[in-house]
A = this chain, B = another copy of it.
C-alpha cells in the first residue's frame, strides 16, 4: 500500500477525517491532493517530529520485577531508545544479567550518565528510594524522568517528570463496570436529580472497536498519567 487517504487512516484510528487532516497539517503539507499521503514519507515525517529517528540513551534505576520487565520490553528499542545501563542499589544484583545486560551498582550512576550523555532516566525503585535516586539523576545531568514509583517527585525547574500509576487504568475499568451494573438496575444512587450525569446522559460504556467512528464518551478523557 504505497499511499493512504485521510479517510482510510481516520477510519482505522476511529476519528474524523477532517481532524486527521488538520492535525497532519500542523506538521506540514505532506499529502498530495487527489491522491493521499505517501505512506513511507508520512511515517518518516511523523517519526522525525516525535523524535523517533533519534537515539535516546536511557538509564533504568531499580531492577526489581518492574525494572526487569521494562528492560525486557521490546517496544523501547524499536522507538529509538537504547538502554545504556541497568542500575540497582543492591550489591547482590550487581553483575547479574537482566535482558542481556549486566546490572551495575548505584555507585556508578553519575559516571554512567556522564559518559553516555544520558538525558532520560527511568525510576522503578521502591517508593522510599525514588526521591533520592531522582536527586542524583538530576545532579548528574538527567533532565527527563519517568517515575514508576508510587511517590510524587520534586525536581528543579527545567526537569520533566512523568509519573505512571499502574492501578489507575484498573480504576477506570472498574468505574465502567460499576456503571454497567448500575444501568441494569436503574441505579438509585445518583444524588443528582435531572442534572447532567457524569459523562453525559446515558453514557455509553462499550468501547468502540477499532475502525468505528464513534469515539465519543468519557473513556479517552481520563489520563492514565499526570505531570508530577
**CB contact list, A70-123 vs B, under 8 A:** 70, 72-76, 79-81, 119-120, 122
Q: Chain B residue with minimal CB distance to A144?
A: B173
At the interface, yes or no: A34 with Cβ under 8 Å from chain B?
no
Taking a contact as CB atoms closer than 8 A, the residue among B51, B160, B191, B219 that contacts A207 in the complex is B160
**CB contact list, A35-83 vs B, under 8 A:** 48-52, 54, 56, 58, 64-66, 68-70, 72-76, 79-81
Main secondary structure of the interface of A (DSSP, over half): mixed
Chain B nearest Cβ from A205, distance in angstroms: 7
The answer to whether A170 and B81 have CB atoms under 8 Å apart is: yes
Q: Which residues of B contact A73 (CB under 8 A)?
A: 166-167
The answer to whether A227 and B220 have CB atoms under 8 Å apart is: yes
Would A207 and B220 be within 8 Å (CB), given that A51-B171, A75-B166, A172-B162 are in contact?
A: no
At the interface, yes or no: A7 with Cβ under 8 Å from chain B?
no
